[in-house]
Structure 1
Amino acid sequence: MSGLVRRTFDSPEETRPFEQGKGRLDLVNLDGGPVGRAVFEPGWRWSEHVKPIAQTDSCQAAHAGYCLAGRMVVAMDDGEQQEFGPGDFMVAPPGHDAWVVGDEACVMLDWQGFADYAKP
């Protein structure tokens, strides 16, 4: 068993900006993989601000995340969609678009899908 581990998003190991200044992904690395905190600014949409980086038709990352602030809609390629807000836990399989709802930044923690997210 390893000892205590402390990481902080105030000093992430990596930061990946989104297109057009619409937010960023901060990563801290743990033995089990990276944990990300993403800040999606009002007006952010995956298909506009990450698709040019990912170069896929829709987001192909699976996400297991928790919404800290703001609101976001996730729309699956098959048409299913759900809105998430503060306190909501989210599981989203690959094959989706997403966008911020309203004029508040959406802040999400993700334990699964950010290893290669928004990575050129």
Structure 2
Amino acid sequence: MAGLVRKSLDTPDEVRPFEEGKGKLELVSLAGGPVGRATFEPGWKWSEHIKPLAGTESCMAAHTGYFVSGRMKIVMDDGESMEFGPGDFLTVAPGHDAWVLGDEPCVVIDWQGYGDYAKP
């Protein structure tokens, strides 16, 4: 393994578009696993735009991430909910829905849950 590795989300190894043009996931592959930058457009909702790809009733990925811009609401299957925005860090367990709040795209960097996320 090399002593230094440089990757950029501006030139990702892979790009996965979301349903109906509601955003995209840009991924870089690192030795420790993939890191992704997701851009969720206004009107995006997991249960509408990712569920058809995932084939599960709710998002079954765990996430560890950082909100760069925009706002998002996440609701766990048990009803617990929280809103996130710029500067917030997130850890969320499997079993949730999420959607963009407002009219600004929501950009999230995630280093845990995007490896299989939105995979066709």
Q: Tell me the TM-score normalized by structure 1.
A: 0.98
Segments of 4+ moved more than 2 angstroms: none
Matched, 1:88 2:99: no
RMSD (CA atoms): 0.9
Q: Give, in whole Å, the separation in 2 of the partners of 1:110 and 1:84.
A: 14
Question: How far off is 1:10 after superposition?
Answer: 1.3
Specify every segment of 5 or more residues in structure 2 that has no aligned partner in the other structure, as ranges.
none
Q: Give, in whole Å, the separation in 1 of the partners of 2:37 and 2:15.
A: 10
SS state at 2:112 partner: coil
Q: Give, in whole Å, the separation in 2 of the partners of 1:20 and 1:52.
A: 12
Question: How far off is 1:4 after superposition?
Answer: 1.6
Tell me how many residue pairs correspond in the alignment: 120
SS state at 1:47 partner: helix
AA aligned opposite 2:45: R
Cα deviation per residue 1:11-54 (whole Å; 9 max; x = unaligned)? 10000000000000000010000000000000000000000110
Identity %: 68
Matched, 1:12 2:8: no
Q: Tell me the TM-score normalized by structure 2.
A: 0.98
Specify every segment of 5 or more residues in structure 1 that has no aligned partner in the other structure, as ranges.
none
SS state at 1:118 partner: coil
